[in-house]
């Protein structure tokens, strides 16, 4: 039954994908993705889950068929990668990120394209006009990222990040981290 739902969802998103292709030619693939993901983010229920994944499989570097992307989630970078059985909760914002297999992101998690998405070096040039430096943020396999966390650095596999934490430095594997900025609270072993 799931296979049939994936096929039906893919058929449903073909017009949106073709529109995305045209928009990508006009404004670039990432800007076109942001607009397309805003429309897809508003589709509720099971239908929305399947349509979001079907579309993301067509436009992202990788999105596994078994991933789940909930209502209200926005993507801004086509370079994102979503692993098998990854769960991205409602109202998340994902930039150039790699979400490992079996990883769960709770509601409202932000994974931007690193800490330097906007340039800030010059005081004489508005920040919006300064080039930023995008990087891929990697969240390892089998992680749990709590609600409203902001992840701007890599997270090792099987790591838990507490709700509301702000990850500014890489976190090792198999730890529990929390706080602003996030720090290792204890190991999981």
Q: Give the pLDDT confidence of 74-120 residue by residue, as tens digits.
A: 999 999 999 999 999 999 999 999 999 999 999 999 999 998 888 88
Is residue 94, in this structure, part of any structural domain at all? Answer: yes
First to last CA, the chain: 39
What residues pair up with 160 in beta bridges, in sequence order?
Answer: 144, 176
- Residues written for the chain: 189
> What CA–CA distance (Å, rounded) separates 133 from 166?
19
Count up the domains in the chain and report the number.
Answer: 1
Q: What is the CATH number of the domain that holds 24?
A: 2.160.10.10
Q: Give the per-residue pLDDT at 101.
A: 98
Is residue 138, in this structure, part of any structural domain at all? Answer: yes
CA 167 to chain centre: 15
Is residue 73, in this structure, part of any structural domain at all? Answer: yes
Both tokens assigned to 130 = 């300064």
Residue 141: name the closest of 87, 179, 180, 94 by CA: 87
Contact 174, 187 (CB under 8 A): yes
Q: Is 131 helix (H, G, I), strand (E, B) or coil?
A: coil
Is residue 41, in this structure, part of any structural domain at all? Answer: yes
Residue 172: name the closest of 148, 138, 136 by CA: 138
* Residue at token pair 């570097």: 61
Residue 43: name the closest of 56, 29, 30, 28 by CA: 56
Q: Give the per-residue pLDDT at 147.
A: 98
Is residue 124, in this structure, part of any structural domain at all? Answer: no
- 5 has a pLDDT exceeding 90: no
Written as one string, the DSSP assignment of 53-67 is HHHHHHHSSEE-TT-
* Residue at token pair 């969240």: 139
Q: Which domain holds residue 180?
A: 1-119+131-187
Is residue 125, in this structure, part of any structural domain at all? Answer: no
Q: Give the per-residue pLDDT at 32.
A: 93
The reported pTM is 0.91
- 1 has a pLDDT exceeding 90: no
Is residue 168, in this structure, part of any structural domain at all? Answer: yes
> What CA–CA distance (Å, rounded) separates 189 from 5?
39
Is residue 107, in this structure, part of any structural domain at all? Answer: yes
Q: Give the per-residue pLDDT at 125.
A: 92
């Amino acid at each position: 039954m799931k296979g049939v739902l994936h096929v039906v969802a893919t058929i449903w998103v073909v017009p949106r994908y073709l529109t995305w292709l045209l928009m990508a030619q006009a404004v670039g693939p990432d800007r076109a993705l942001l607009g397309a993901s805003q429309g897809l983010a508003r589709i509720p229920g099971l239908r929305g889950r399947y349509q979001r994944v079907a579309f993301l499989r067509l436009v992202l570097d990788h999105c596994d068929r078994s991933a789940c992307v909930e209502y209200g989630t926005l993507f801004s970078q086509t370079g994102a990668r979503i692993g098998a059985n990854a769960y991205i909760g409602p109202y998340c914002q994902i930039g150039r990120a790699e979400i490992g297999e079996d990883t769960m992101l709770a509601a409202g998690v932000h994974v931007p394209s690193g800490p330097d998405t906007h340039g800030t070096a010059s005081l004489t040039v508005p920040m919006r006009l300064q080039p930023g430096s995008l990087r891929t943020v990697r969240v390892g396999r089998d992680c749990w990222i709590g609600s409203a966390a902001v992840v701007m650095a890599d997270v090792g596999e099987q790591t838990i990040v507490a709700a509301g934490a702000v990850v500014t430095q890489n976190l090792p594997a198999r730890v529990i981290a929390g706080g602003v900025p996030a720090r290792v609270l204890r190991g999981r072993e």
